[in-house]
Amino acid sequence: MFSHTEANVLQEGSESSEETGGQTCHQCRRNDRDTVIWCLRCDRRGYCDSCISTWYSDIPLEDIQRSCPACRGTCNCRVCLRRDNLVKVRIREIPVLDKLQYLHRLLSSVLPIVKQIHQEQCFEVELEKKLRGTDIDLVRTKLNADEQMCCNFCRIPIIDYHWHCSNCAYDVCLHCCRDLREASMPGVEGEVEDNQISEKSQEKETKLQQPKLSKVRLNLSDKFSDWKANSDGSIPCPPKEYGGCGYSSLNLSRIFKMNWVAKLVKNAEEMVSGCRVNDAVSVENFGHDDPRICQYAHREDNNNFLYCPSSEDLKSDGIDHFKRHWLSGEPIIVKQVFDSSSISSWDPMVIWKGIRETADEKLKDEDRMVKAIDFFDWSEVDVELGQFIKGYSEGRINENGCPEMLKLKDWPSPSASEEFLLYQRPEFISKLPLLEFIHSKFGLLNVAAKLPHYSLQNDVGPKIFMSYGTYEELSGGNSVTNLHFNMRDMVYLLVHACEVKPKGLQKTKIKSTQKSLEESEVKESPGDLKMGLGEDTNPDLSLLSQSVENDYGARSDTDKDESVADHGHETTPTVEGDTRSCELSEREGGDVSEKTHMGVLWDVYRRKDVPKLTEYLRMHWKEFGKLNSETYNFVTWPLYDGTLFLNGYHKRKLKEEFGIEPWSFEQHLGQAVFIPAGCPFQVRNLQSTVQLGLDFLSPESLGEAVRLADEIRCLPNDHEAKLQVLEVGKISLYAASSAIKEIQKLVLDPKFGAELGFEDPNLTAAVSENLEKMIKRRQITCT
């Protein structure tokens, strides 16, 4: 079995106590306890013996050490309860009928995936019966909650059923088994399925909406020609050279309880078909002169405008407008998320101070070393935290005399960010817009929130990101996030920005260096895209030095009187006029961005443009200079590698050759940018910035997440994307189970009888009867 785990080795309690003696107990906040069991998962919290025996006596000590109550989402300390209660108040304010609508929508979105999982399991069970006889007992693999069991072949987490070798413990997921059968005996799986499924079952299934099988397949016939499925459909253990032992046949095994998925399908179908909830989004269309609509592209199909409401707009208009635009896969910009009084509290020095106080750290000097990414060559460097924070506002120059652009890599950690927000900003998360979507624990429309809080997959934020930035685009080493996409939906809130203004000798040295670089560029041909590349350095991914106006159609105030050469390339129409109108409306509304320049520049591409965008990158990859040794993988999966940044020249060329362009817009302080899963995007920091990021998964993005998961399974096993792949199947199972229970509570709770009862027109008699039966049965849980 190949597995990921938060803590591969549990330390003895005495060792933990020795290391953490004198530390503060997260529960009682005392630091005079003799023994504190430190959490190996977050490495931020510990619980003393007294609090464990008083509040968590039902959890074994080794389990607390593996994953503490706070990581499990069950901590009942005063601070945790206060934070959760602030969010629960917001959730409780949602009308019951709206909650029912949300849950129905979530259940409807996950049902096709749960049914597909069930159909795949049914096929494998029938095959196992054919091989072993009708009386089979599937062996169950026991896993801890913080463990993942991965397929030894494709390295993707296994959802539930899998084929297991009793001789060498090799495990193969059902998707790899399917690919192996198709590569070995084309059509055999369909023949077996036709023989095993009864006519009655087939008639029933054809009436249901079936999810399409993925067209993405692993290429097994060429690379693994010696590994074939048996003629009866069974799977042998792969040969030793492929990591197995060559045993003749694997056994079907499971992770969850027997028939759990089948029961989920039955209950979910009853509720989706029996609960008549009008989930259609019918809202008025905004005119182009409405301040909530801004133009950020100039495509011929007129899909150029984005929804840009303020937080107050969302409160007054509800989420229907958001849902309509989100369903279309469009990014959304929410303005005025917080007021100007909050800006200073997000200064990096204030955050550092707050984290030290929260963690009760002994290290209070400025010599703490942290990891950072140097954008000049994308190398990982060590830097003193105090020096990084100083450079955040004053700037730094490298040995070549150019501005040094850095981004912190591992600080603050996700657990430190969460702890900081818990103690220092307990009300901040509760005031964010669209908590129904984004909250990692209580979001009704966050499919990923239904996973156990201590699951490996539930490390979704919030996270704090700190980067340097500059208005002037450099010849190399710009502060950027390269072009890529995510399986999850994302929201980024710009909470702090600082314009770096070099002074004295630093300013003189930078100007001299930049002048020398510009002179050397003029001597080069305008089409020479390898300029600025040294013999032993990685490529300059921005390729050509261009102004902000050339790239994005919006020039910073410092460049108004300067003319920047465009290397002979024709500029595309800009969105400057539309952008300024948006800025004007923000200022009229008292936006915090009124007194600041734009902090981050975004380019976001549509999902449907991904094939053309990928083709462009594969065609022109040589123009991006020297690449690493894995060139083939790079040009095959460019958006998963995240190693390219398209500057103005390449964006113009992309539009000329393929007719596609991104939405290009600026993010100001106090604004939140929502990016749908599967939308490629890139950003450039125009100032030193602090961003607060959260991951979530909405029902609208579930299908896209499934598609991306299928693609990631076919990436090389050492690709970083495989380590971060979202377990969409497992998430859907937990989401279905959670939604079923929540609907039961809403419908059967007597407190809601006046508002929502059995005679309510939204519920049919059939679902009422089914709900009565369900509440009498033992609740199904996943253990």
- Could you report the per-residue pLDDT of 318-358, keeping only the tens digit for each? 888 899 899 999 999 999 998 766 777 899 999 988 888 77
Lowest-pLDDT choice from 230-234, 484-488, 511-515, 636-640: 511-515
| pLDDT tier at 380, thresholds 50, 70, 90 | very high
> What percent of the chain is modeled with pLDDT above 70?
68
Q: Contacts from 759-764 at CB under 8 Å and sequence distance 24+?
A: 761/276, 762/97, 762/100, 762/275, 762/276, 762/277, 763/274, 763/275, 763/276, 764/274, 764/275, 764/276
Round to the nearest angstrom and report the end-to-end CA distance of the chain.
19
Closest CA to 237 of 228, 224, 246: 246
Identify the pLDDT of residue 723: 84
Average pLDDT for residues 109-125, to the nearest whole number? 94
Top pLDDT among 42 and 13 is at 42
Structure tokens at 783: 């253990």
User: pLDDT per residue over 202-254, tens digit each?
Assistant: 433 333 233 345 566 776 766 777 888 888 889 999 999 888 998 888 999 99
Identify the pLDDT of residue 215: 61
What is the residue type of 65?
Q
What is the residue type of 669?
L
User: pLDDT per residue over 434-453, tens digit each?
Assistant: 988 998 888 889 999 888 76
Lowest-pLDDT choice from 1-15, 128-142, 246-260, 686-700: 1-15
Per-residue exposure over 666-695, b if at least 16 CB sit within 10 Å of its own CB, e if not: bbbbbbbbbbbbbbbbbbbbbbbbbbbbbb
Q: Quote the CA–CA distance of 430 and 572 in Å, as a whole number.
A: 42
Lowest-pLDDT choice from 53-67, 151-165, 454-468, 756-770: 756-770
Residue pair 107/272 in contact by the 8 Å Cβ criterion: yes
Top pLDDT among 63 and 486 is at 486
Per-residue exposure over 706-742, b if at least 16 CB sit within 10 Å of its own CB, e if not: bbbbbbbbbbeeebebbeebbbbbbbbbbbbbbbbbb
Identify the pLDDT of residue 661: 93
Closest CA to 279 of 444, 105, 157, 477: 105
Q: Quote the CA–CA distance of 467 and 601 in Å, as a whole number.
A: 13
Determine which helix (DSSP H) or strand (DSSP E) holds 483, and give its type and residue range: strand 480-484
* Average model confidence (pLDDT) across the chain: 75
Average pLDDT for residues 146-169, to the nearest whole number? 90
Top pLDDT among 512 and 610 is at 610
User: pLDDT per residue over 632-671, tens digit each?
Assistant: 445 578 888 888 899 888 999 999 999 999 999 999 999 9
Identify the pLDDT of residue 400: 74
User: What SS3 state is found at 360?
Assistant: coil
pLDDT at 783 over 50: no
Which position has the token pair 């635009």? 325
pTM: 0.79
Which of 39-48, 54-63, 524-533, 667-676 is most confident?
667-676
Domains and CATH numbers, the chain: 36-82 (no CATH), 94-182+219-278+715-782 (no CATH), 293-332 (no CATH), 333-504+599-714 (2.60.120.650)
pLDDT at 364 over 70: no
Top pLDDT among 458 and 453 is at 453
Top pLDDT among 504 and 643 is at 643
Closest CA to 639 of 692, 693, 711: 711
Lowest-pLDDT choice from 60-64, 115-119, 359-363, 708-712: 359-363
> Residue 492: CA atoms inside 13 Å, Cβ hemisphere, count?
24
Top pLDDT among 282 and 691 is at 691
Structure tokens at 147: 């463990």
| pLDDT tier at 284, thresholds 50, 70, 90 | low
Residues 153, 618, 646, CA angle at the centre, nearest 5°?
Answer: 115
Number of Cβ atoms within 10 Å of the Cβ of 12: 10
| pLDDT tier at 509, thresholds 50, 70, 90 | low
Identify the pLDDT of residue 93: 73
Identify the pLDDT of residue 30: 80
Average pLDDT for residues 707-724, to the nearest whole number? 89
Lowest-pLDDT choice from 120-124, 519-523, 632-636: 519-523
Omega of the bond prior to 60 within 30 degrees of 0, cis? Answer: no
Lowest-pLDDT choice from 46-50, 381-385, 595-599: 595-599
Identify the pLDDT of residue 693: 92
Q: Quote the CA–CA distance of 331 and 599 in Å, as a whole number.
A: 18
pLDDT at 11 over 80: no
| pLDDT tier at 631, thresholds 50, 70, 90 | very low
pLDDT at 766 over 60: no
Identify the pLDDT of residue 532: 31
Lowest-pLDDT choice from 19-28, 306-315, 347-356, 719-728: 19-28
Closest CA to 73 of 41, 36, 29: 41
Identify the pLDDT of residue 750: 60
Phi/psi for 692 (5° steps) reads -105, 120
Query: What Å distances lie between residue 461 and 111, 453, 632, 700, CA to CA?
Result: 27, 12, 33, 20
Identify the pLDDT of residue 384: 92
Identify the pLDDT of residue 357: 76
Q: Quote the CA–CA distance of 433 and 314 in Å, as a whole number.
A: 7
Closest CA to 500 of 467, 473, 469, 545: 469
| pLDDT tier at 568, thresholds 50, 70, 90 | very low
